[in-house]
Structures are given as C-alpha cells and as structure tokens.
Amino acid sequence: MHSSPDNPLLLRIVDDLAGPGWSQQSVFLSPTLTEELAQECRARAAAGELAPAAIGRGDRQQVEEGVRGDYTAWLESGQCAPGDAWLALMESLRQTLNRELFLGLEELECHFALYPPGAYYQRHLDRFRDDDSRTVTVVLYLNEEWQPDEGGELRLYLPGGRAHEVMPQGGSLACFMSADFPHEVLPATRERLSLTGWFRRRAGKSL
C-alpha cells in the first residue's frame, strides 16, 4: 500500500464520492496490516479498553443499547505502528480528497469498534444535530474470511428507496458522504471488528 497522492485506489474513491457519493473497495488494505489492526483491536478489548459506544455529543452523550451495541476505543497517532500506518494512509486520502474535490477536510477522528455476536447499530446518519463537522465516513473491516451467511452487513440507504449492503470482509473499505447516507449495521453471528473514521471540517456549531 503506497501513500502517494496518485494511489489508484484513492483516486477511485474520489471518483465515487464525486459521483454517487459512496464507495466500496473490496481489496483496500493488505492482509498483513489488516491482521495487525485486528490484533490491536482484540488486545484492547482483552485489556478492557473498549467502552460501550455512546450516542450524541458532550452533555447529551448517552449509551443506548437498543440503538447500538458495539464497543469502541479511539485510535490516536503514536499508539501503535499499524495504527500509525493506517493514519498515514488516511492522511493521503484526506489530501487527495481536498485536492480533487475541495472538501476542506481538516482532521480524522477514528475508532476501533467491536460488535459482539447479535449486536447491531440501528439506522442513523453520521452527523450530530448540534455539529455538522463530520463530512466523510470511512469504515475499514478487520474480519478474516467473513462468510455471507454470518450477517453483519453495513446497509447503506441510497436515493430512490434502494439499499446497498457491504459485507464486513477483512481489508475492505466502505466510504460515503456522512450527511447523505442513512445506514445501519445488521447483527452478525460472530464478533465483528472495524476501524471507523470521520473526516471533519472545522467544527461548526458545537454546544
């Protein structure tokens, strides 16, 4: 995986975001780096560093198991080598998106997410009512040899009442304009790991 601005995978994502507004890349990250990131996520889970995901922001943050059942931990730079490799690749995606589409993306916030078997995340939009800075959503899946009958799809609601489902196959990536695509995570029969990020513009109206 190169991080040069002309990486064809990144340019394909640019084309997709400029067109339909969403992109699925089935082979985005090498199996080695994918597995290293999965190990980091599992290690954090074993160390008790993953917390039940909350909904909303600031004072309005609350855990609602009926809405989402995943456990998350933020990925910051300098925490681990595979995490830094991932953040470097996302930095080149950020620069490519800004250069080609003038999106003005300023930063990435990124977390590991673990869905235990049966957990789901109901239909939602990745924008908070009080803050519209999340602009582009990226989800990298960390699940080796995911089988179609194991569930856990990301269901994207497209215009015109259609939907598109993405299987959370290790090394694959889903990316979409955060404001435009309601989506949900369907329950799976096995543990489901991902690394989810949001490219943000400068914070808008925050409380």
Q: Which residues bind ligand OGA (CB under 6 A)?
A: 113, 121, 126, 139, 154, 183, 185, 194, 196
Is 180 a binding residue for Mn ion by CB under 5 A? The answer is: no
- Cβ distance to ligand OGA smaller for residue 6 or 145: 145
Q: Which of residues 126-155 bind Mn ion (CB under 5 A)?
A: 126
**Which residue in 121, 188, 132, 108 sits closest to 156, CA to CA?**
121
Tally Cβ neighbours within 10 Å of residue 16: 16
Helix (H, G, I), strand (E, B) or coil at 204: coil
Shortest Cβ 103–ligand OGA spacing (Å)? 19
Residue length, the chain?
A: 207
Residue nearest to ligand OGA (CB): 154
Shortest Cβ 194–ligand OGA spacing (Å)? 4
- Cβ distance to ligand OGA smaller for residue 96 or 196: 196
- Cβ distance to ligand OGA smaller for residue 17 or 154: 154
CA gap 125, 184 in Å, rounded: 9
- Cβ distance to Mn ion smaller for residue 70 or 126: 126
How much of the chain is in helix, strand and coil states, percent to nearest 5? Answer: 30, 30, 40
CB 155 within 8 A of CB 184: yes
114 binds, among Mn ion, ligand OGA, none (CB under 5 to 8 A by kind): none
Convert 135-147 to b/e letters by CB count within 10 Å (16 or more is b).
bbbbbbbbbeebe
194 binds, among ligand OGA, Mn ion, none (CB under 5 to 8 A by kind): ligand OGA
**Footprint of Mn ion (CB under 5 A):** 126
